[in-house]
Amino acid sequence: MAGKPKLHYTKGRGKMESIRWLLAAAGVEFEEEFIETKDDLEKLRNDGVLMFQQVPMVEIDGMKMVQTRAILSYIAGKYNLYGKDLKERAWIDMYVEGTTDLMGMIMYLPFQPADTKEKNLALIIERATTRYFPVYEKALKDHGQDYLVGNKLSWADVHLLEAILMAEECKPDILSAFPLLQAFKERTSNIPTIKKFLQPGSQRKPPTDEKFVAIVRKIFNI
């Protein structure tokens, strides 16, 4: 039996958080080896295990996988969260790219200068409510099913729930105009594997704070 996937990243969300989410939703236990100092990162680079000198890196099935999108696609395919055919996969990819764009804006907010944060937060809320969430609301309405693609849980659903919860950290009532997304959030949050990941004490990471921003800047020299 293969060992558990091992995740190499900092002790925060960042680009690894969606990987944690997808593994957790698939019911896969994983281990984490945290990069806590610049030396930890340099050791990985010097050991030659980072193809492009970057993390996230996930050890899985005898591979040392890098590039967030490649890792997520592999996990989605391996655990039957990537649709039943090429067309479903294309829809999943489109939905995932949308939530990736939104989460990217939220992810970088704590790293931005204080004088631009308020403006950027307003932009996130505006984009979420006019560009991104209407698409998913319409998809659920047109599809008439519990999930975005087909009628089963996919990577697109897991990613959307993660994005919704991140957006609610920016504005708690951000879903007020989206009743189907509110119902979707309730439904998917109660899927047993996801519910477990949302409990205190899980491997889900807290929102990025100033202390963590300082650690990341030191490790990655930014």
Residue 114 is predicted with a pLDDT of 86
Give residue 41's domain range.
6-79+198-220
Residue 2 is predicted with a pLDDT of 63
- Is residue 56 reached through a cis peptide bond, with omega within 30 degrees of 0 on the bond before it? yes
Q: For residues 207 and 168, state if they share a domain.
A: no
Q: For residues 68 and 125, state if they share a domain.
A: no
Q: For residues 117 and 24, state if they share a domain.
A: no
**Is pLDDT at 185 greater than 70 in this prediction?**
yes
Q: For residues 34 and 96, state if they share a domain.
A: no
195-213: pLDDT as tens digits: 999 999 999 999 999 999 9
Q: For residues 102 and 156, state if they share a domain.
A: yes
Regarding predicted confidence, which is higher, 115 or 21?
A: 21
121-142: pLDDT as tens digits: 999 999 999 999 999 999 999 9
Residue 143 is predicted with a pLDDT of 86
**Is pLDDT at 3 greater than 90 in this prediction?**
no
The two tokens of residue 30 are 């994983």
Question: What's the CATH number where 157 sits?
Answer: 1.20.1050.10
Label residue 56 exposed, middle or buried (CB < 10 Å: 0-12, 13-18, 19+): buried
Query: Is 10:219 a contact under the CB 8 Å cutoff?
Result: yes
Question: What's the CATH number where 33 sits?
Answer: 3.40.30.10
Mean pLDDT across 114-123: 91
Mean pLDDT across 188-194: 97
* pLDDT > 90: percent of the chain: 91
Residue 1 is predicted with a pLDDT of 45
Residue 65 β-bridge partners? 58
In a domain, 12, yes or no: yes
Look over the chain and give the mean of its residue pLDDT values, rounded to a whole number: 95
SS3 sequence of the chain: CCCCCEEEECCCCHHHHHHHHHHHHCCCCCEEEECCCHHHHHHHHHCCCCCCCCCCEEEECCEEEECHHHHHHHHHHHCCCCCCCHHHHHHHHHHHHHHHHHHHHHHHHHHCCHHHHHHHHHHHHHHHHHHHHHHHHHHHHHHCCCCCCCCCCCHHHHHHHHHHHHHHHHCCCCCCCCHHHHHHHHHHHCCHHHHHHCCCCCCCCCCCCHHHHHHHHHHHCC
Residue 59 β-bridge partners? 6, 64
d(CA 222, CA 213): 10
**Is pLDDT at 18 greater than 80 in this prediction?**
yes
Mean pLDDT across 172-192: 97
In a domain, 122, yes or no: yes
The two tokens of residue 52 are 């492009």
